[in-house]
Chain A
Amino acid sequence: MCVNHNDHPLIVEGLNKRISDQAIISNMSFKLERGKIYGFLGPNGSGKTTTIRMIGTLVAADHGEITINGYNTKTNREKALKNLGAIVENPGLFEYLSGEQNLKQFANLGVDAIDQSRINEVVKLVDLEHAIHKKVKAYSLGMKQRLGIAVSILHHPSVLILDEPTNGLDPNGIRQLRNDLQKLAKEDGVTLLVSSHQLSEVEILCDRAIVIKEGSVMGELDMHMTGKNKDELTVVIEAEPKAEAISVLSSFGEVMDTDQYLELTSQTYNTLPKITRALANANISVYAFSYKRRLEDAYFSLTREKGGIK
């Protein structure tokens, strides 16, 4: 894979990992574009956390390379990690210390000196000025998550990896976290990889999503309604008589007959009124008409799991 490290601060190439003779990660490769937010999606046990641990050098890969800002994590571990911030599973904070003491602890673990003004800056960014002198054990889950992010970006990393950051957060916490992350990508040019189970959250937050299954990348999706993505809607219809409805819908594309619904794949948003008009003109009774969310649809199609209907 020939890539420019300036454009792609994180490159994962041919990663493999076996644990107890079982392949956990198989030939995984992907690269992240600078300043973009990536979702990292996959079913439970698909290898998301293992991949994140390998990027953070917590777990060694059997084969394959990880490059962070041009530095290989195997041969140049310290330089590579200088460009990485990560929260793996939980923020990993010292609960008996205050928020500021935690930041100072992690500031001391950097290569370059981190001064008080940088600490103040990240505290402001994650909106924790009011609680920074309190002990972390008194923090809410959302505040801990935000302090974890502050800790992870102290040293100006190019890549920030967050493993299930919205787990356990209330809607307000999720919104605040989302704002913080978008600010980081937009204002500081940080590239984010966010692993999550919440497809709707990924759809709102991310620019792109990497979908994995059984330790391999199944595909990469663009979250924006541009170009090819416009043709990725699946229309779900309940209509009678079914045979005539299939005949009408066939002129728009491939129709799948599930037990209750008819599914019309690869449609554009602009086609939706044309479909309803065609069904009405053919005197077909339409009882339900909706379309699947693009990410959910693509996710289930990539992971070959049966999806629900919105």
Chain B
Amino acid sequence: MNGLLQNEWVKAWYGRKIWMFLIAMFVFLILGWAFAAVIHSVGRFSIGPMEFVEPGLVSLNVFINLYTVVLVTTAIAGEYGNGTMKQQLIRPVPREQLLLSKWLITMLIATALIFILTIALLVIDQVYFTSGESFFAMIYEAFILALYQLPRLVFYISLATLMAVLTRSTALTLVITFFPYFFGNIIGAIAMLYDWSHWLVLTHLDVYQNYAGMGGGPPFENIWLSVGFIGIHAVVFLLLAHLIFQYRDVV
């Protein structure tokens, strides 16, 4: 399994897309900082503790979500398309390990990106905006904020894994996975008109807004029920992906 993880790690860092993504993230971070600095300098709208970290993390997390969905899609559907998957499947490694390694490395990269972004936002926040605040208290708060972002990442990366195994098409996987990502809020808002809306997983994905932010009423009584509900969906997606990956012919 170590060899498989190592392979996926190497592949994830090769090519232009990772560097383009990192450069784009860096540019967005600088732009956000510049924008906040201008507001801060006006005086009347001074940036308080976590007021740079929170919107920064929530908005830039969108790009991490999008990038990591593309990453796992390329690792599965892309490899079916260019024939490398076939070559990997005739190797003496269990198929479930092959698929799991792709999902695990994507999750590892997604989680690392979330925490690196959080640290970068914290440092900028401390150096330029709230240097008087307790740094350690903010680290804890930022860490919790970063954790709130993870259930949605797990959900979409698992959904993309299933769709990539099912369709074996990069374009189709991205369309199907991004549809609920971009239209989930609208679908959720419409579903709110009905009693059963809390059984719609899309209404749970924004865990931060539902349980710690300024969203509407939380769909379940507590955050753990929502996280569990999202987790069950992710496990079902991965189990289905495993079964399809294991038994479907590669023609």
* Interaction A to B: yes
Report Cα–Cα, A86/B83, bound state, in Å. Answer: 13
Q: Which size class do B's interface residues fall under? A: 20 to 34
* Also in contact, A109 and B7, with CB within 8 A (given A56-B90, A81-B91, A94-B84): yes
Are B91 and A60 closer than 8 Å at their CB atoms? no
Q: B43: which A residues are within 8 A, CB to CB? A: none
C-beta contact mask, B9-45 vs A, less than 8 Å → 1, else 0? 0110011000000000000000000000000000000
Report the minimum CB–CB distance from A261 to chain B (whole Å): 42
The residue among A80, A86, A92, A107 with the most chain B CB atoms within 10 A of its own CB is A92
* Also in contact, A84 and B90, with CB within 8 A (given A60-B249, A108-B3, A109-B3): yes
Which chain A residues numbered 125 to 151 have a C-beta less than 8 Å away from chain B?
151
Q: Which size class do A's interface residues fall under? A: 35 or more
State which of A95-103, A195-203, A205-213, A289-297 sits at the interface with chain B. A95-103
B87 within 8 Å of A (CB atoms): yes
Report the minimum CB–CB distance from A75 to chain B (whole Å): 14
Q: B94: which A residues are within 8 A, CB to CB? A: 78
Interface of A is mostly: loop
A59 within 8 Å of B (CB atoms): yes
Residue in B closest to A54 when the chains form the complex, CB atoms: B249
Q: A101: which B residues are within 8 A, CB to CB? A: 10, 14
Are A93 and B84 closer than 8 Å at their CB atoms? yes
Report Cα–Cα, A106/B7, bound state, in Å. Answer: 9
Name B84's contact: one of A56, A58, A89, A92 (CB within 8 Å): A92
Report Cα–Cα, A106/B85, bound state, in Å. Answer: 11
Are A59 and B250 closer than 8 Å at their CB atoms? yes
Q: A89: which B residues are within 8 A, CB to CB? A: 83, 86
Report Cα–Cα, A20/B84, bound state, in Å. Answer: 26
B193 within 8 Å of A (CB atoms): no
Residue in B closest to A89 when the chains form the complex, CB atoms: B83
* Also in contact, A58 and B90, with CB within 8 A (given A53-B250, A92-B84, A93-B84): yes
Q: B6: which A residues are within 8 A, CB to CB? A: 108
C-beta contact mask, A54-95 vs B, less than 8 Å → 1, else 0? 001111100000000000000001111110101111111111
Name B83's contact: one of A80, A92, A105, A111 (CB within 8 Å): A92
Are B92 and A79 closer than 8 Å at their CB atoms? yes
Are A109 and B91 closer than 8 Å at their CB atoms? yes
C-beta contact mask, B191-215 vs A, less than 8 Å → 1, else 0? 0000000000000000000000000
Are A53 and B251 closer than 8 Å at their CB atoms? yes
Report Cα–Cα, A78/B90, bound state, in Å. Answer: 9
Are A108 and B7 closer than 8 Å at their CB atoms? yes
Name B251's contact: one of A57, A59, A81 (CB within 8 Å): A59
Report the minimum CB–CB distance from B170 to chain A (whole Å): 15
Can you list 8 pairs linking A and B with CB atoms under 8 Å apart? Answer: A53-B249, A59-B249, A88-B86, A92-B84, A93-B84, A109-B7, A110-B3, A110-B92
Residues of chain A having any CB pair with chain B under 8 Å: 53, 56-60, 77-82, 84, 86-97, 101, 105-111, 151, 155
Q: Apart from A80-B92, A96-B14, A101-B10, what 9 extra A-B contacts exist at CB < 8 Å?
A: A78-B93, A89-B83, A92-B82, A92-B83, A92-B85, A92-B86, A97-B14, A105-B7, A111-B92
Residues of chain B having any CB pair with chain A under 8 Å: 3-4, 6-7, 10-11, 14-15, 82-94, 247, 249-251
- 10 nearest interchain CB pairs? A108-B3, A92-B87, A109-B91, A56-B90, A58-B250, A81-B92, A92-B83, A82-B92, A59-B249, A78-B92
